Structure 1
């Protein structure tokens, strides 16, 4: 994963996605085997459909062909973030307060690397969950991935 490239692409792509009335949820630029993939995850209220994904794919593909910010060949994929949508932006932590989330940490925190609980919010740069009937504040800097979770 190339985080610097993901950030550069995100800055280029986000205005185009917003222009279509959509939200850019996440950008992944990753090598799998011999191939590079640029994955854009988009969303809107009520969810995205194939037309949304196709429209963004064509528009972004044209822009990236013109600006050529990626030196090697890659495959562009545009899709919905799915049911386990990642939480990355501060707005995500506000929008999904009260939702069940899972936080994966880069190293053990209080003996564990994974926590699931109801999201209270992002407070003082800590992800605050209701975890096992108590408040748990996980430093955001330790969070490798935070995403919505399914409640069965």
Structure 2
């Protein structure tokens, strides 16, 4: 729960910085990978995100983090776009992409498969419902490892 409080505090600090620059704060995560800590900030815009956008937000957030110093341990700051095959982290993301094609990777086999791709039809606290091969399929959220939007070029 300490990590949840840190994320909550970081959201309160980072969101105004991102929005002042006319971007959307898509997601913030603080993770440990290969023994290193990463603060990842995903930003979005109707016009897309480029390297300059990420740099603007990174500089401003870095300055704020240096001044406020909310994270006690060392970490790397990364600012990026969520990308075309973006991870769907929240119910707000799911709601935004209702009717879109998503890919669901399971933590373990579900009905003999680990990956499902279909049109996102509905969701609730227990299930994600997709149209899979012409039928509605309720997938238990507790079995889902990650969900991604299937982007189109």
TM-score range normalised by the length of the shorter chain? 0.7 to 0.9
Preserved CA contact (<8 Å) 1:25 1:86:
no
> Does 1:25 pair with 2:26?
yes
Q: 1:38 to 1:127 in 2, by over 3 A?
A: same
Change in Cα spacing, 1:151 to 1:141, as seen in structure 2 (3 Å) is same
Cα distance in 1 for partners of 2:54, 2:69 equals 21
- Corresponding residue for residue 67 of structure 1: 68
Tell which deviates more after alignment, 131-140 or 27-36: 27-36
Residue equivalent to 2:138: 137
Provide the secondary structure at the position in 1 that maps to 2:14: helix
- The answer to whether the 8 Å contact 2:102/2:118 transfers is yes
TM-score, normalised relative to structure 1:
0.82
- Report if the CA contact (8 A) 1:38-1:74 is conserved: yes
State the distance in 1 between where 2:37 and 2:125 align: 36
Deviation at 1:116, TM superposition (A): 1.0
CA contact (8 A) 2:125 2:141 kept: no
- In the TM superposition, residue 73 of structure 1 has moved relative to its aligned partner by 1.6
SS of equivalent residue, structure 1 residue 98:
coil
Q: What is the number of equivalent residue pairs in this alignment?
A: 151
1:19-64 residue CA offsets vs partner (Å, 9 max, x unmatched): 3222222223233445322221111112112232112111211221
CA-based RMSD: 2.4
Q: Map of 1:81-120 to 2, 5 A cutoff? A: 81-120=82-121
How far has the Cα of 1:12 moved from its partner? Answer: 2.9
Per the alignment, residue 50 of structure 2 pairs with 49
Q: TM-score, normalised by structure 2?
A: 0.82
